[in-house]
Amino acid sequence: MASVAARMADRLERWMPKIVIAPGFLAILLFVYGFIIWTAYISFSKSRMLPNYDLIGLRQYERLFQMDRWNVAFTNLLIFGATFILVSIIIGVLLAILLDQRIRIEGAIRTIYLYPMAISFVITGTAWKWIMNPSLGLETVVRSWGWESFSFGWIVDQNMAVYALVMAAVWQSSGFVMALFLSALRSVDQDIIKAASLDGASTAKIYLRIILPSMRPVFMSAVVILSHLAIKSFDLVVALTNGGPGYSSTLPANFMYEMTFRRNEIGVGAASAIIMLATVVAIMVPYLYSELRGSKNV
Amino acid sequence: MSNLDIVRPENSSFHWVGRLLIWTILLLFCLWFLMPAYVVISTSLKNLEEIRGGSLLALPHELNFTAWTHAWNEACIGVQCSGLKPYFWNSVMMVVPAVLFSTMLGALTGYTLTKWRFRGSNIIFALILFGCFVPFQVVILPMAQTLGILRLTNTVYGLILVHSVYGLAFTTLFFRNYYVTIPDELIRAATIDGAGFFTIFFRILLPISPPIIVVAVIWQFTQIWNDFLFGVSFTTGGSQPLMVALNNLVNTTTGVKQYNVDMAAALITAAPTLLVYIVAGRYFVRGLTAGSVKG
């Protein structure tokens, strides 16, 4: 009898890893992958106000692509994403390089550059909405300094509202890019730099020709993380422009929310969510694949 | 890279112009990052006449905290004029259990995935990892329906469930990347001594885990506290978390627009995560970069 109990205990011990991992993994399987399939199904169905499980093929996608609001949202994502990523990386790399020049109070400056990452996009949006207030905000301040024609009404201008989003998003995220690059700069091989500088290369040349090209993986990471942030952007838009004026600064995430929860267009909302997922997958999967493959070799 | 100028002594006048330029750019960016914080704080301390009559960048005439108490106790959010106070506690009730659950489960999952590998465990890790990057729009509709079926719509328990599940992907990543650096020989030796799955976890791994636990807890706390999408999708009225209440407060259009109250409300909402950042910024930054650094 004792040996049976021992064998049971032994078997339990052998199964323990799988038992422990099961609840979390099953939850992710259901709540992530199961729900993705569910949403995909709805996007192929007749659903409008309530879920309806009659399939109608790609009709919801056809309706989606015919909606001006969606086309504006997707174009905005391209403009917002490209500008936001480019400007964040330029500022982030610049600040990282400058901070790497033996700055005495580097820690304090880093703290200032990074604090926006600790607060939510809703708060960032609220603050910038006030700063960009056309009648009481920065515009009035600059005019009172004597620049009478200065105009900063981005959030009420349909052509500029999306750049107001870029401005606030860059403010929030460029410190993060700085932190990524600074930690990469700190791990650059010193010997190569010493050799280059003994050969008479200038500091600028060393950065441009040797150091930055060697950080291609960091650029990759930054682009991937920032594009992921851009695609997910929802609360910043709600708090800063609420998609307006009209729907000129709406992004796909806001479109999805609007259709699903406000306009009783569940099918179109689901279709837009699937397009968002497809965009993320197109960017993430090659990246994750190379990351995971790299880590196996270590 | 920090010792370039030790390597090569610079021409002195050129050197000083360069240093001046570096410092000017760095300090200008400090101003740019601090300006919104300054504007929000100073506006929250002004009264409405001062706001309308004066400059955005002017200092307040006196330290006047009425906007703060108003935002906390009486400001109207929708039709309810209860201030932010009840919503603040909604967020606390949501964030504490959700952070605990996702961190504990993430630690165990990360431990299993590194120290008890089995066939398929790499695929499991890849599937969990991808959960970090899924745009949540693709799950909110089924989630709303599931919460309805479970009768958890509009409750703090619903949000705890949602945040625990979707936080698990990140906490697993943190712990997995941390435990992968612990030598497997340590575990093998303990197994030979007869230690089992949980003994090894509690006696060997957990005692060396505090740094990564801090990273995971801070990350989860910041994420969940700052969440807006789940809060606005799954709750209404009095059961909303603070972040949703803030947005409603700012966009409540009845009556005179009280910019000072809006700004005070934004500060109250930002305070907890900012405090954590100031106290434990190092760990916060480590969490931020953990996702992008190879494990």
Question: What's the total number of domains in chain A?
Answer: 1
Side-chain-facing half-sphere of B106: CA atoms under 13 Å: 35
Give which of B91, B104, B138 to mutate to test A binding, by max A Cβ within 10 Å.
B138
Domain range for A223: 68-297
Res B274: pLDDT:
93
Statement to judge: residues B45 and B100 lie in one domain:
no
Residue pairs between chains A and B whose CB atoms are closer than 8 Å? 278
Q: Is residue B78 part of a domain?
A: no
Cβ atoms of B264 and B40 closer than 8 Å: no
Give which of A120, A194, A281, A291 to mutate to test B binding, by max B Cβ within 10 Å.
A120
Cβ atoms of B242 and B235 closer than 8 Å: no
Residue B204 DSSP label: I
Give residue for tokens 């039709």.
B79
Q: Do A260 and B141 touch (CB under 8 A)?
A: yes
pLDDT of residue B284 exceeding 60, the answer is yes
The CATH number assigned to the domain holding A152 equals 1.10.3720.10
Res B118: pLDDT:
86
Buried b / exposed e over B245-264, threshold 16 CB at 10 Å, is bbbbbbebeeeeebbbbbbb
Q: Is residue A39 part of a domain?
A: no
List B residues 235-264 in contact with A (Cβ-Cβ < 8 A): 243, 246-247, 250-251, 259, 262-263
Res A2: pLDDT:
63
Residue A276: C-alpha distances to residues A42, A172, A240, A280, B132 (Å): 15, 22, 22, 6, 15
Q: Is residue B216 part of a domain?
A: yes
Tokens of B136: 């949540």
List A residues 27-86 in contact with B (Cβ-Cβ < 8 A): 27-29, 31-36, 38-39, 42, 51
CA-derived radius of gyration, chain B: 24
Q: In 10 A of CB A46, how many CB atoms?
A: 15
The CATH number assigned to the domain holding B200 equals 1.10.3720.10
Question: What's the total number of domains in chain B?
Answer: 2
Residue B64: C-alpha distances to residues A123, A131, A137, B46 (Å): 22, 21, 21, 6
Res B88: pLDDT:
94
C-alpha–C-alpha distance, residues A46 and A267, integer Å: 7
Name the residue among A17, A51, A103 with its Cβ closest to that of B116. A17
Q: Is residue B295 part of a domain?
A: no
The DSSP line for chain A is -HHHHHHHHHHHHHHHHHHHHHHHHHHHIIIIIIHHHHHHHHHTB--SSS----B-TTHHHHHHHH-HHHHHHHHHHHHHHHHHHHHHHHHHHHHHHHHTTT-TTHHHHHHHHHGGGGS-HHHHHHHHHHHT-TTTSHHHHHHHTT-TT----GGG-TTTHHHHHHHHHHHHHHHHHHHHHHHHHTTS-HHHHHHHHHTT--HHHIIIIIIHHHTHHHHHHHHHHHHHHHHH--HHHHHHTTT-STTTT--HHHHHHIIIIISS-HHHHHHHHHHHHHHHHHHHHHHHHHHHHHHHH-
Q: Which residue of A has its CA nearest to B272?
A: A119
Q: Is residue A9 part of a domain?
A: no
Q: In 10 A of CB A148, how many CB atoms?
A: 8
C-alpha–C-alpha distance, residues B273 and A9, integer Å: 45
Residue A121: C-alpha distances to residues A190, B233, B266 (Å): 39, 16, 11
| Tens digits of residue pLDDT in B38-72 | 999 999 988 887 888 778 888 888 888 888 888 88
Q: In 10 A of CB A195, how many CB atoms?
A: 13
Q: Does the CB of B149 have a partner CB in chain A at under 8 Å?
A: no
Statement to judge: residues B172 and B203 lie in one domain:
yes
Which chain B residues have a beta carbon less than 8 Å from that of A175? Answer: 33
Q: Does the CB of B17 have a partner CB in chain A at under 8 Å?
A: no
Collapse the DSSP code of B77 into the 3-class scheme (helix H, G, I; strand E, B; otherwise coil) and give the result.
Answer: strand
Q: Is residue B75 part of a domain?
A: no
Statement to judge: residues B23 and B167 lie in one domain:
no
Angle CA B277–B250–B138, to nearest 5: 70
Side-chain-facing half-sphere of B79: CA atoms under 13 Å: 2
Q: Is residue A130 part of a domain?
A: yes
Residue B2 DSSP label: T
Statement to judge: residues B109 and B255 lie in one domain:
yes
List B residues 62-101 in contact with A (Cβ-Cβ < 8 A): none
C-alpha–C-alpha distance, residues B74 and B83, integer Å: 4
Give residue for tokens 């409540």.
B252
End-to-end CA, chain A: 47
- pLDDT band of residue B8 (cuts 50, 70, 90) is very low
| Tens digits of residue pLDDT in B190-239 | 888 888 888 899 988 999 999 899 999 999 999 999 999 999 999 988 88
Q: Which residues 6+ apart lie within 8 Å of B173 measured at CB?
A: B110, B128, B129, B132, B290, B291, B295
Which chain A residues have a beta carbon less than 8 Å from that of B39? Answer: 127, 130-131
Domain range for B219: 85-290
Q: Is residue B127 part of a domain?
A: yes
Give which of B43, B95, B127, B137 to mutate to test A binding, by max A Cβ within 10 Å.
B137
Statement to judge: residues B123 and B264 lie in one domain:
yes
Q: Is residue A201 part of a domain?
A: yes
Q: How far is B139 from chain A (nearest CA, A)?
A: 5
Side-chain-facing half-sphere of B295: CA atoms under 13 Å: 25
Give residue for tokens 């056309």.
A134
Q: Is residue A218 part of a domain?
A: yes
Statement to judge: residues B31 and B95 lie in one domain:
no
Q: Does the CB of A185 have a partner CB in chain B at under 8 Å?
A: yes
Q: Do A122 and B226 touch (CB under 8 A)?
A: yes
Q: Does the CB of B290 have a partner CB in chain A at under 8 Å?
A: no
Statement to judge: residues B254 and B110 lie in one domain:
yes
Which chain B residues have a beta carbon less than 8 Å from that of A128? Answer: 36
Q: Is residue B73 part of a domain?
A: no
Give which of A126, A176, A258 to mutate to test B binding, by max B Cβ within 10 Å.
A126
Name the residue among A28, A42, A235 with its Cβ closest to that of B169. A28
Statement to judge: residues B121 and B226 lie in one domain:
yes
Is the interface score ipTM higher than 0.85?
yes
Q: Does the CB of A116 have a partner CB in chain B at under 8 Å?
A: yes
Mean pLDDT by 10 residues, chain A (298 residues): 77 84 91 94 86 83 92 94 96 93 87 92 93 84 80 84 94 92 85 81 82 85 87 92 88 93 90 93 82 57
Cβ atoms of A30 and A40 closer than 8 Å: no
CA-derived radius of gyration, chain A: 25
Q: How far is A159 from chain B (nearest CA, A)?
A: 23
| E strand or H helix at B266 | helix B259-290
Q: Is residue B89 part of a domain?
A: yes
